Amino acid sequence: MNEKQRNEISKFLSYVLRHEPQAIGLQLDVEGWAQIDLLILAAAKQGHELSRAIIESIVESSEKKRFALSADGQRIRAVQGHSNAEVRLQHVEKVPPEILYHGTATRFLQSILKQGLIPGSRHHVHLSQDIQTATAVGQRYGKPVTLKVESLRMHQQGYTFFQAENGVWLTDHVPVSFIQQD
């Protein structure tokens, strides 16, 4: 597998495990798990040639640790980033650090400074602990801008935060009063 093929398969897995399992006739449970043998069969019908070895290699090499295997090695899921309505991962609730960062594009700023950060089609607003990651996230949508979120102050005022297995921080909504432009 070269880097390009690896990237394509990773994107395909993100698509079916976070967003549209039904597009290939795959069933996820409420915790987002898919049976690996069924995933391989469903993907083959769409012309994506997967195998256990390929899947395990993608899970292992994903620099953001996007996917996880079940303890028995029979199932796979995306660890965060879902938009699918059937899935509701029980993320671990945690006290956040004082500051978390959100990367976005400058064209969204005006709306964000009116409404605060909202999840869009995903289940949560995504925040990261370091500026570099946030900037890279923002870059996907245009000229990046990094916003500082006063996460600890939010938590002290009753807002809930979760941390996904791969370290990404999640919350439901960030009101404008907790956002600063970095």
Report how far residue 166's alpha carbon sits from residue 150's, in angstroms, rounded to the nearest whole number: 21
Using the rule CB under 6 A, is 61 a contact of ligand HQG? no
Cα torsion at 90, 133, 16, 44 (round to 10°)? Answer: -130
Using the rule CB under 6 A, is 25 a contact of ligand HQG? no
Report in angstroms how near the CB of residue 51 gets to ligand HQG at its nearest: 23
Count the site residues for ligand HQG by CB under 6 A: 19
Residue closer to ligand HQG by CB (options 41, 182) is: 182
Are the C-beta atoms of residues 39 and 21 closer than 8 Å to each other? Answer: no
Number of neighbours of residue 153 by Cβ within 10 angstroms:
14
Which one of the spans 25-33, 88-96, 114-122, 149-157 is the region binding ligand HQG (CB under 6 A)? Answer: 114-122
Q: What are the φ and ψ backbone dihedral angles of 128, each rounded to 5 degrees?
A: -130, 160
Q: Which residues bind ligand HQG (CB under 6 A)?
A: 14, 64, 66, 81, 104-105, 108, 111-112, 115, 117-118, 120-122, 126, 137, 141, 168
